Structure 1
């Protein structure tokens, strides 16, 4: 859960400024760009690969199609299908890509707002 009140920060990017909350999540998912993804990934110590890009693209498309961020189970299904593995294997892949988890890193890099509460998934 959010422990601190939001402190908003402007992040300058080549395509323009974006506003993030005190934890580095975009305040408006519509302001997401690949440049923001690269910035957020660097802040998280992640070097983006085509597989990261595929997960992020899935999450962005889900947001556009459904108006809400994708639950982790949908990303796990994507990874399980791609890697022809089970849920446990898909979780391993997810944590290889985003070592600190779906919400802490994948959602942030994909430009989702910080959820009010979440599990460690």
Structure 2
């Protein structure tokens, strides 16, 4: 079965926010760098942000990346040979919510593969 990856290294920014919801405002803003890694068939996630406060949030972003990969595999379009690196993140002291970062990661991966996803044969 063929695997899907990206055709070049590029940055995929994402802003997932709603500031008008009464009592439910949220902000998830970060950038993922996607790059083909033809030496490894897996999907690797790397947190390149050096701020120690980011570690907790990076876990939720990685969960979103993994969820996207699982959904694609279940649909018959498995992803591999890919390195996904968290290169930038903005945290809001009140409106950052873990599950919104997970949702945003799925959105970022979807946008990335719509733009530059390629099938390896």
Calculate the TM-score normalised by the size of structure 1. Answer: 0.30
Q: Which has the higher contact order (CA 8 A, sep 6+)?
A: 2
Q: Which has the higher helix share?
A: 1
Compute the TM-score of the two structures, normalised by the length of structure 2. Answer: 0.30
